[in-house]
Amino acid sequence: MELIRTLNKLPEKLHGCKKHFGSDDRKKSVIIDIPNEPYNTNKKPISFANSVPVPVLSHSNASSKSSFAISNDILDMLWFKNGPFANYTPKKSTFNLGDTSISIDYQEEPSLIDITKPIDPSGGLLTGAGIGHFPSYAKLTPQQRYTYLNWLTDITKMINIGYVFLFYYGLERHLLFGNMEKAIKIISLLRKHHHNIPFFVYSADASFLAIVKNNRLDLLKYIDFSKSSASIRLFLRASTSRQLAADDIINACHLFGFDDTKYINSQYTLFKSTLEQKLEDAFACKYYPVTSEDINAITSTFAAAISNYSLMPEERFFKLPDLSSSPALRSKIGKILEKTHWQVYATLQQK
């Protein structure tokens, strides 16, 4: 498999146990620090036409415009259908059917801002209300558009996760076709302020794909991959550090055929410390050292996905080697997890 050969070519930044490498000259673990870089706070006002409010006295002198001071960095990441910031060209496919040429429009980018669509500030901010599954700017109500545009002036503010996904769809398009590096940094900022498991998984998958495709491993530091799918986390650990820590193994335990999570759920600290001791006994270190043999024995792949539903299937879905499909690795880790389980049971019985 080409991806497995690529995996083996990635640099081994960390080395492991003397039992496996035959040396006391071990490199220390590299701690990936997630930089807290502020984005460009210079703001540019953008005006939108308000919808006509219900005719009541308090609105008789209301302005027909609403302005939103959006930072330059965020503005650069937005997709506009029209107006002075228009930057999106609909994708089309043309084919011939006999003597007739037929043009098909691809699905429109869901985050695409149409400045001709009305907004309505009269209802205030609807920050807690959802906007449905698979949101799009075009389908928002005028009040929801006002809420969304107001939030774009400070994307760290708490808001219903649907609005975050709406903005994030556009960032995914930048990961593939635009300013990938800036998109990665803003995704990192969103992940720090909006805690949502599906968002963590999708944003980690998409960021990892963009980083690997563009050979920009230096950008891995911006994404906390401990908040990602178990399969992506395993692949990343195997490809960059060649080691699986206790937390990595526990997080992916079901991938190794271990489904009895009673003590993981109720006695996590004890289970983790016991697992580290089992790893120490087996490998002279508190992690599992991934070997080239483990990687070469991979037999299958796992699918990861980008959430932007306007992208074509070949753009949205991709496959990576499934580390847990390596028979020897799966067997060894499965047995260690089983031993850990029964050791925790024995420990609790002695109390």
Quick one: 116 and 2 in the same domain?
A: no
Q: Are residues 44 and 177 in the same domain?
A: yes
Backbone angles phi, psi at 166, to 5 degrees: -60, -45
pLDDT digits (tens, 9 = 90+) for 219-268: 999 999 989 999 999 988 888 889 999 999 999 999 999 999 999 999 99
Per-residue pLDDT band at 21 (split at 50, 70, 90): very low
Statement to judge: residues 290 and 336 lie in one domain: yes
Are 75 and 30 contained in the same domain?
A: no
Domain-embedded: residue 208: no
Q: State residue 161's pLDDT score.
A: 97
pLDDT in tens, 270-294: 999 999 999 999 999 999 999 989 9
Measured distance CA(222)–CA(301) in Å, rounded = 25
Q: Which two tokens stand for residue 300?
A: 């299958």
- Cα separation, 149 vs 163, in Å, equals 10
Range of the domain at 179: 35-51+66-196
Confidence class for position 4, pLDDT limits 50, 70, 90: very low
Whether the CB-CB separation of 347 and 270 falls below 8 Å is answered with: yes
**Cβ–Cβ under 8 Å, residues 77 and 152:** no
Overall domain count for the chain: 2
Kindly indicate the confidence band of residue 122, based on its pLDDT and cuts at 50, 70 and 90: confident
In whole angstroms, what is the distance from residue 18 CA to residue 117 CA? 65
User: Within a domain: residue 57?
Assistant: no
Q: Position 44: which residue type?
A: K
pLDDT tens, residue by residue, 67-81 = 888 999 999 999 999
Q: What is the pLDDT of residues 203-224, one digit of tens each?
A: 999 999 899 888 999 999 999 9
Within a domain: residue 278? yes
Contact 336, 278 (CB under 8 A): yes
Please tell me the distance from the alpha carbon of residue 20 to that of residue 290, in angstroms, as a whole number.
Answer: 10
- Is there a domain that residue 324 lies in? yes
Contact 184, 203 (CB under 8 A): no
Q: Mean pLDDT over all residues of the chain?
A: 82
- Given the structure tokens 């911006």, which residue do they identify? 222
Q: 148 and 285 share a domain? A: no
Residue 312 has what pLDDT? 84
H or E segment to which residue 239 belongs: helix 230-240
Three-state SS at 57: helix
* Residue 157: other Cβ atoms inside 10 A: 14
The verdict on 287 and 305 lying in the same domain is yes
Rounded to 5 degrees, φ, ψ at 105 are -85, 135
